[in-house]
């Protein structure tokens, strides 16, 4: 049986095992989540190098994991964040399927966006929107240093960047855990102060997050999770998996 996995902290509430096993179990594989402390990240990655055929990476290690890999490819190079790793000939190759998933899910062009967060998920969302024509970003993050570094990355692409809220933008992006693990009051207050045509919420929760419920046009975290999982399976197995089957598994249908 082929082993696949997820590393992060926390992972106990992750739907990824249900989503991935809906496909991988049919192909002789099994997908298991591993809660890994930061001091054991490199050990965990090297263990999966030997034992697994590939694995996903979630918060808070999408950037930190790169130092344990042999190479990164595609969108991961552009944003220095990895959420999918393929084990090939004993080598670990990192990819970012968050970007490709969002490109697939965002319909039409987007000219401007407010992004909440400045980590790997925020970078993935920004690159996907940039590929959709977005060249104006506003960045909000609790860490001024992280927001500044994120802004510098966006400027290196040729985009214009402001720090703090813009009251009107095509897209509002939540690339933080708010709504999933923590109180989302500050996020909702921020959203209500502006006007946005599209909401992209990378957080997911059973029944939907508050942000998704109050947004007229939202791409929700579950659909993003399923789509990026499908792209991960394509990297690992070379197939296009049944996304409806994966979503049904996540919902317990």
Q: Which residues are catalytic?
A: 62
Q: How many CB atoms lie within 10 A of CB 108?
A: 9
The burial of 245, by beta-carbon neighbours within 10 Å (0-12 exposed, 13-18 middle, 19 or more buried), is given as middle
3-state helix, strand, coil in the chain (%, to 5): 45, 25, 30
Spatial CA neighbour of 48 closest among 81, 9, 90: 90
Cβ distance 137 to 163 under 8 Å?
no
208-220 residues labelled b (16+ CB within 10 A) or e (exposed)? bbbbbeebeebbb
CA distance 103 to 248: 22
Q: In angstroms, rounded to a whole number, what is the distance separating the alpha carbons of residues 37 and 7?
A: 10
User: Tokens 């930190």 identify what position?
Assistant: 64
Chain centroid to Cα 83, Å, comes to 7
CB-side neighbour CA atoms (13 Å) of 168:
0
Buried b or exposed e, range 56-86, using 16+ CB within 10 angstroms = bbbbebbebbbebbeebeebbebbebbbbbb
């Amino acid at each position: 049986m082929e082993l696949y996995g997820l590393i992060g902290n926390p992972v106990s509430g992750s739907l990824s095992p249900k989503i991935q096993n809906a496909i991988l179990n049919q192909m002789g594989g099994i997908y298991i989540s591993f809660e890994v402390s930061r001091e054991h990240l490199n050990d965990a990655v090297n263990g999966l190098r030997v034992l697994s055929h590939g694995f996903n990476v979630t918060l808070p290690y999408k950037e930190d994991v790169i130092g344990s890999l042999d190479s990164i490819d595609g969108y991961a190079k552009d944003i220095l964040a990895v959420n999918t790793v393929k084990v090939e000939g004993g080598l670990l190759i990192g990819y970012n399927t968050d970007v490709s998933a969002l490109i697939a899910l965002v319909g039409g062009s987007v000219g401007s966006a407010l992004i909440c967060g400045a980590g790997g998920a925020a970078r993935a969302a920004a690159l996907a929107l940039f590929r959709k024509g977005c060249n104006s970003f506003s960045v909000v993050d609790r860490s001024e240093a992280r927001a500044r570094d994120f802004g510098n990355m966006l400027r290196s692409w040729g985009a214009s960047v402001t720090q703090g809220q813009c009251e009107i933008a095509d897209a509002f992006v939540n690339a933080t855990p708010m709504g999933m693990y923590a109180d989302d009051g500050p996020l909702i207050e921020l959203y209500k102060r502006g006007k946005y045509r599209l909401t992209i919420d990378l957080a997911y929760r059973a029944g939907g997050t508050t942000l998704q419920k109050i947004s007229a046009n939202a791409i929700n975290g579950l659909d993003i999770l399923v789509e990026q999982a499908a792209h991960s399976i394509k990297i690992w197995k070379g197939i296009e998996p049944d996304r409806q089957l994966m979503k049904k598994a996540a919902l317990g249908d």
